Amino acid sequence: MRNAVPILAALLLATGCNQAPSTDVEVTNPVIRLPAVPGRPGAGYFHLRAPQDRVALTAVTTPAAERVEMHETMSEGNMASMRPVRRIEVGREIAFAPGGRHLMLFGVSPELKAGETTDLTFQFEQGAPVTVSARVIGAGDALGGEHDGH
């Protein structure tokens, strides 16, 4: 059995850190990037750490989009493509970042504006869902926080 409590100290100094309180799941710097062209999909990025008794991340939802898919990016030669993933095992840090795994948000609410925040809810194979507040940024805006430089 694993009874380890996640150590949060390393994250306490991070600016833009957005952890849900009183949870075993840590979500850092959750960001939703609006589409460059209305009607196109938006994207979502975050870092997540969850203990192994959560087993796997199985879905992410937001009231700001009709449907959210978890995607991973694959490259073959110099061609990049992406495909949906249904579950991602937890137990170490999971990064959704530009060029790699990302959320794809379909049917993004036209009301949603850069500078606002909206909920992102993470669902796991075990345990209750965890909701955090994600920053909304424009299509060309930097992500900030740990994602800087991408």
Q: Rule CB under 5 A: which residues touch Cu ion?
A: 71, 82, 104
Phi, psi dihedrals of residue 86, rounded to the nearest 5°: -90, -30
CB of 43 to Cu ion, least distance (A): 7
Residue 71 or 135: the one with the smaller Cβ distance to Cu ion is: 71
Residue 45 or 54: the one with the smaller Cβ distance to Cu ion is: 45
Q: Which amino acid, one-letter code, is at 25?
A: V
CB of 104 to Cu ion, least distance (A): 4
Q: HSE on the CB side for 38, CA within 13 Å?
A: 5
Residue nearest Cu ion (C-beta atom): 71
Q: Which amino acid, one-letter code, is at 91?
A: G
CB of 56 to Cu ion, least distance (A): 19
Instruction: Check residue 127 and report its DSSP letter.
Output: S
Residue 25 or 137: the one with the smaller Cβ distance to Cu ion is: 137
Cα 82 versus chain centre, distance? 16
